[in-house]
Amino acid sequence: MKRRDLLKGMAAISASPILTSYALEGNLVLGKHDALIVVDVQNDFLPGGSLAVSDGDAVIPVINHCMQLSAAKRLPIYATRDWHPADHCSFVENGGTWPKHCIADSPGAQFAENITFPDDVIIVSKGADSDKEAYSGFQGTDLSDQIHAKGIRRVIVGGLATDYCVLNTVYDALANDLDVVLLTHAIRAVDLHPGDGDRAIKSMMERGAEVHDGLILAD
């Protein structure tokens, strides 16, 4: 990880009144019962994509750094992705909220070119049923079973977008009796309504998630 790339990720984050109310200091020590969940860092959610999240690509250097340290400790890394059929219920054409995005096997559904997943990354596809929305990586998948089978007790979460798929993945992780650390420099919000991202972070914290900037990790 080049320092300038990591600093780019730091500089790009917006100053959030929610986050600046809390001290995000000290090392985040990764242990043998931890896993990293990378949420939906896909082309359609990045600048130029059909459902682009503002500044979405700024999460990539931070996530790459976290993956590098996780891989060094042989910790599981899960990458969730939207993997929609063309007639998915979330699309405006079908009465949903969003433009067409992340259609299975399309370029927009592919992971960002410059995200450096290890060879043993575990890919979790969601939203593959036409009539079911799936913001959470746990919804309609076996992610919970996989995590518990490995004895994981805590998940470290970053990705896109704060106020939808990150939010719901964190909710479900907590509901599945997992501790959660939210990497605040590794998330960005859609903010369909101004302030949605901050409200999502506050809600996750109120439910028990811890927050960390993800920039000071223990090797």
What's the CA gap between 14 and 107, in Å, rounded? 29
Q: Catalogue the active-site residues.
A: 40, 126, 165
Q: Of 32, 72, 36, give the one whose Cα is nearest residue 214.
A: 36
Burial 163-173 (b: 16+ CB within 10 A, else e): bbbbbbbbbbb
